[in-house]
Amino acid sequence: MQDAILMMGGLGLVVGIGLAIASKVFYVYVDPKILDVEAALPGANCGGCGMPGCSANAEAIVAGKTSPSSCVAAGPEVAQAIAAILGVSFEAKEPDIALPGCAYGTSDAETKYAYDGLNDCRAMAVLHGGMKVCTIGCLGLGTCAKACPFGAITMGPDGLPKVQENRCTGCGTCERVCPKNIITLSSVTRRILKEYTTEDCTTPCQRACPAGIDISAYIGAIADGDNNRAVQIIKERNPFPTVIGRICPRPCESECRRHYVDEPVAINFLKRYAADEEMARGQHIQPYKAPETGRRVAVIGGGVEGLSAAFFTARLGHATTVFEAQNKMGGLLRSAIARNRLPANVLDWDIEGILAMGVASETDKSLGKDITIPELLTQGYQAVFLAVGGWDSRLARTGGQSDPSPVPGCHLLIDVAKSGSQGYPNLKLDGHVIIVGNPNLNKQLIQRCKALGADKVTLLVRETPLAEIEPNQAEVRADMAIGRLHGQGDALQAVDLIHLTHGGIEKVEAQHLIFTAGRIPELMFLPASTEDTPSDSAQNAAPATTGAWQAIPPYKPAALRDEIGLMAKGDELTDFSAAIKSIAAGRRAAATIHKSLYGLALDLPSHVVAPATPVQNVNSVQGVAVQLRQIMPLADANQTAPDAELEKGFSVTEAHQEAKRCLQCGLICYLRDKECHASQPGAKV
C-alpha cells in the first residue's frame, strides 16, 4: 500500500513538473488590448467586417489592419470606446453603400447561354468567363445576394442586383464575392477620389468628359422628369452646371454613339436645362457630403479651379475657406467672357451653390499683402492649396502692375524680364536661383538673374539645350525635374530634384525658383511635420507652428500618370484652355489634399482609364431609328439689350425629346429602338 502511494505521488510529481514545463513552452500571450477590444464588440460574429468572427476582428483592429469602426453590427459609440482603448482619436465614419455598376442584365442580352449545374458567379467566371461578350458585364446568378448577411441585395427582373440602402451596412461582403467587380462599395469620399479604371462600365461620353460626369445617368433622370436627381448627378463631378451648360466646348458630344446614326445628343444643352430649372426654382440641389473631419483647409484663388477644389474638399468633410484678391469671386469667368454668353447672375448662382456646400469665403484678400501661406499654416490650416491662375489672370486683376509672385521663393520669368521697368516692381534675388522649364533660354535672362542679385544660377531642363550655356553663366542640369519644395516662413530653402532616368531624388538648397511658363504651378502647402507622420496617429494632429513647410503638386491626370515633377509634359503653362478642365483639376487637387492629410498614396492605379487606353467599344450602332437633334432656341433678332443671352435654353418638351435620344450606353451595350425591334427577343444589346 505504501509503495502504491509513493508511486502515485511520484507519478503526480512528474506530471505536475511536465505540465509546468509545458505551460512555459506552449504559453500564448494575448495582448490585453485585444481582449478589451473583443469585449467591446457586440459578439455577433456575423462576418460583415470581413473577418472570421469578432476575435479575429479585434486582433486586426489592434494590429492597425482595420479601423475601430469596422464592425458593421455596432454603432458609433462602440467605435468611440474602441478608439479610447487604443488611445487614438476617432472621426465620424462615413456610411458605405453597395453600388451596382452594370448597365444591362443578362435578360437583355441578345445571345444567352445556359450553364447547367452552375449557380455561382465565381465558378462561372472561372470556368467560362461569363455569359456575355462584355467582359465587365454582370453574370446575373446572384452570388452577391446570397452572400449578403443582412438581406440588403436582391436580383431584379433585369438580372441585375438591387440594393436596399436601409438594410445595407457597407460590410463589403458583396464586393468580395463578385468576380467581375460589378458591385462595389460607394461613399461620397470614394466617389470624389475615384479615377475610372478598365474595370468600370464607363460610357464613351463619360470617358471624354474631363470632369468624368456620369452623363447617361443624368440624361436618363431628365428623360424620367427627375431634374433634381439630374442636378445631383451632375454636381457629383461639376459644381458649375449652369455655367458649363453655356460655355463648355463639349468634347463628350464628339464621342456620342448617336453620330453613327444621325447627330450626337445635345449633352451640354441638357445639362444647362436641368441646371436652369434648379435656378428658376431658387433652391440649390446639393450632392451628399462626408461627415466633418475637424480639419481646416485654405484655398487661395477664387477662380474656377480654386472654387472647385474648395467644393470637393468641403464635400470630403474638411472646413474649407477660399481667399480671393478681388471683391468678387469667379476669376476669368467674370472678367474674360462676354455677358451675352455667360450672364453675371448665372455665375453668381453657381458660386452661391458652392458656398452653400459649406465653403467659407474671404474676398479682398491679396496673397502676400493681406495673407501669406506660412501665416495660414500657423493659424490652424492643415493644408493650403494655391490656385492663383496664370499671367492672364494677373493681368485681368491688376493690369500687370502687381507685386511679383508672393509665393515663397517662386517667380515667373516675366517678373525677371520686367523687373524695375515701366513701373513694374523690383525683384530681388539672392543665393541659389533655379530656372525651370525652357532648355533654350535667352542667355540675357540668365545674366539678368545675376544682375538682380543671384549668387548662382542653375538651368533645370528635361532635355539637353540646343544652345551651349557657358559655365560662368549657369550650371545646366538636364534630364531633371522638380518634385517637393521645402521652406521656412517666407523663404524657400530647398527643392527635391528628381533624376528622370533612374527616379532618384536629390535635395538641393535653393532660395528662388523661376518658372519659364505663364503661371506658378498648382501647389499644395503642408506643415513640414506632416511628411513622416503615420496616418493612424495624424488623424487629428494639430498643425505645426514652427513655420516649416513643404509643397507638392496635385497628382497628374490619368493621361499623364507617368509624367514626373513640375512643368512636365501636359502640365498647364498658363490658364486652363477650358473651364471644365479647371473643374477636373480642382477635384484632383481636393483628392490630393485629402490623401496627403491621411497619409495615402497619390499613385494612380495601373489600369486607370486615359484617352489612349484600349477599352471595349463599338464602331457601329444598329437597330436605332433616325431622330434629329433638337435645335437650341435663339433670342429674337430685334433684341436690343447688349448683355442679353443669345441662346435661350430648351423648353420642357424639347429637353424630354432630346433626352430620349440618349442610347443609355455601357461599354458595348446601348439602348435600341423598341419600335424597330419589337419583334426581336431583346430590345437592348
Sequence ranges of the domains in the chain: 30-90, 97-186, 204-284+616-659, 362-597
> What 3-state DSSP class applies to 193?
helix
Please state, in angstroms and rounded to a whole number, the distance separating the CA atoms of residues 460 and 480.
6
Tell me, what amino acid is at 276?
Answer: D
Q: Give the model's pLDDT for residue 426.
A: 84
Mean pLDDT of 68-84: 71
Comparing 102-106, 323-327, 329-333, the range with the smallest average pLDDT is: 102-106
Comparing 55-59, 402-406, 460-464, the range with the smallest average pLDDT is: 402-406
Please state, in angstroms and rounded to a whole number, the distance separating the CA atoms of residues 94 and 317.
10
Contact 483, 495 (CB under 8 A): yes
Q: For 519, which DSSP code? A: B
Please state, in angstroms and rounded to a whole number, the distance separating the CA atoms of residues 266 and 650.
10
Q: Give the model's pLDDT for residue 59.
A: 80
Write the pLDDT tens digit of every residue in 101-132: 887 877 776 666 666 677 888 887 877 666 56
pLDDT at 600 over 70: yes
Enter the CATH code of domain 204-284+616-659: 1.10.1060.10
Q: What percent of the chain has pLDDT over 70?
A: 83
Neighbours of 427 (CB within 10 A): 22
Q: Give the model's pLDDT for residue 474.
A: 84
Q: Give the model's pLDDT for residue 680.
A: 43
Q: Looking at mean pLDDT, say which of 72-81, 132-141, 265-274, 409-418 comes out highest.
A: 265-274
Of the candidates 267, 374, 245, the residue with the CA atom closest to the CA atom of residue 648: 245
Mean pLDDT across the chain:
85
Beta-strand pair 548-552/523-527: antiparallel
* CATH number among 1.10.150.120, 1.10.287.70, 1.10.15.40, 3.40.640.10, domain 30-90: 1.10.15.40
- The beta-strand segments (E) located in 101-240 are 153-155, 161-163, 183-186
Torsion angle (degrees, nearest 10) of CA 372, 378, 380, 385: 40
- Tell me which of 58 and 503 has the higher pLDDT: 503
- Which CATH architecture group holds 362-597? 3-Layer(bba) Sandwich (3.50)
pLDDT at 657 over 90: yes
Contact 389, 367 (CB under 8 A): no
Q: What percent of the chain has pLDDT over 90?
A: 49
Comparing 280-294, 385-399, 653-667, the range with the smallest average pLDDT is: 385-399
pLDDT at 683 over 50: no
Compute φ and ψ for 434, nearest 5 degrees. Answer: -110, 125
Tell me, what amino acid is at 572?
Answer: E
pLDDT at 4 over 70: no
Neighbours of 639 (CB within 10 A): 12
User: Which contacts of 366-370 are long-range, i.e. CB under 8 A and separated by 24 or more positions?
Assistant: 366/325, 366/406, 367/300, 367/323, 367/325, 367/406, 367/407, 368/403, 368/405, 368/406, 369/403, 369/406
Q: Give the model's pLDDT for residue 84.
A: 72
Q: Give the model's pLDDT for residue 76.
A: 65
Cell, residue 315: 464635400
Write the pLDDT tens digit of every residue in 461-503: 888 776 777 777 888 898 999 999 999 999 999 999 999 998 8
pLDDT at 93 over 70: no
Residue 20: beta bridge partners? none
In the chain, the N- to C-terminal Cα span, in Å, equals 93
Q: Which residue has the cell 439602348?
A: 671
Cell, residue 514: 523661376
Domain 97-186 has CATH 3.30.70.20: yes
Torsion angle (degrees, nearest 10) of CA 11, 17, 19, 25: -150
CATH fold match for the domains 30-90 and 362-597: no
Mean pLDDT of 136-157: 90
Tell me, what amino acid is at 344?
Answer: A
Compute φ and ψ for 190, nearest 5 degrees. Answer: -60, -40
Neighbours of 269 (CB within 10 A): 23
Q: Which residue has the cell 532616368?
A: 501
Q: Give the model's pLDDT for residue 633.
A: 93
Please state, in angstroms and rounded to a whole number, the distance separating the CA atoms of residues 661 and 255.
15
| Centroid of chain to Cα 641 | 41
pLDDT at 257 over 50: yes
Cell, residue 125: 467566371
Q: Give the model's pLDDT for residue 532.
A: 43
- Tell me which of 211 and 419 has the higher pLDDT: 211
139 pLDDT tier (thresholds 50, 70, 90): confident
- Tell me which of 222 and 478 has the higher pLDDT: 222
Mean pLDDT of 49-70: 75
Please state, in angstroms and rounded to a whole number, the distance separating the CA atoms of residues 78 and 86.
12
Please provide the size of the chain in residues: 685
pLDDT at 400 over 60: no
pLDDT at 540 over 60: no
